[in-house]
Amino acid sequence: MNRKDILIVSALKQEIPVLKKGGIIYSLENYDVLYTGVGKVNATYNLTKVLIDNDFDLVINYGTGASKTYKGLVDCTRFVQRDMDVTPLGFKKGETPFEDEPSMIDFSHIKNPIDKNLICYTGDTFETNISQYDDVVDMESYALAKTCRNLDIDFVSYKYISDDGNADDWEKNCSKGVEVFKKVLEYYDNL
C-alpha cells in the first residue's frame, strides 16, 4: 500500500510529538497526519472535512487509551459508543436508536500486524471507572470508525495504553507509544 493512500489520525499532537526531550525527533515521515482535537464531535467534523476532499484507502487512528486488562500498544477493530444511553426507551446501553446500521462498528476484517481485534468503548468523558469495560476506553475512535464506515473507507485503531483511568498517568505516558506505533507502520509499507 502506498503511504499516500493512508491517513494517520490522532486527537492530539502530544500523542504523536514532533519533538521530545533530549532532541529526539518523532515524526511519521511521508504519512499524512490529521490532528482532530479531543472528543467525538471534533473527530467526526475534522475527519469528514479531510475525507471529502481527499482519496484515502485506509484511515489509521493512533492515540492513547485506558485499560485494566491490556498494556502497551494494542489494536482496536470494533467500536462502541459507551456514553450512548437510551435504556429508558428500551434500547441497550451503547445502542443508537433508530439507525439501520449496527451500533457496534466492526472492522475486524481489516488485517493488521497485532490482530487482537479488541473492542474500544468511546465516550466524551475521561473514564476513571474502566473496570466495567473489558478491553479499551478512549474518546474518539467510535466517531472516526463511524465516519469511515459511512464513507466506505477501511479503518483500524492502535491505542497505546497510557493509563488505567488515572489522569496523572495519562499525562506522563501519552507520548510514549509512538516509537512502537512506527514499527507497526512498517507492516503497511510492505503491503
User: Is the pLDDT score of 158 beyond 80?
Assistant: yes
Least confident among 83-87, 116-120, 169-173: 169-173
Helix axes 40-53, 141-150, angle to 10 degrees: 30
* Cell numbers that stand for 183 in this block: 514499527
Three-state DSSP string of the chain: CCHHHEEEEECCCCCCCCECHHHCECCCCCCEEEECCCCHHHHHHHHHHHHHHCCCCEEEEEEEEECCCCCEEEEEEEEEECCCCCHHHCCCCCCCCCCCCCCCEECCCCCCCCCCCEEEEECCCCCCCHHHCCCEEECCHHHHHHHHHHCCCEEEEEEEEEECCCHHHHHHHCCCCHHHHHHHHHHHHCC
pLDDT score, position 77:
96
HSE, side-chain direction, 13 A CA sphere, residue 187: 13
Cα end-to-end span (Å), the chain: 5
User: Distance of alpha carbon 136 from its chain centroid, rounded?
Assistant: 10
Residue of 123, 116, 118 lying closest to 94 (CA atoms): 123
Answer CATH for 3-189 from 3.40.190.10, 3.40.50.720, 3.90.230.10, 3.40.50.1580: 3.40.50.1580
| 55-93 per-position pLDDT tens digit | 999 999 999 999 989 999 999 999 999 888 899 999 988
pTM of the model: 0.89
Residue ranges of domains in the chain: 3-189
* Cell numbers that stand for 38 in this block: 479531543
Q: How confident is the model at residue 176 (pLDDT cuts 50, 70, 90)?
A: confident
pLDDT score, position 21:
44
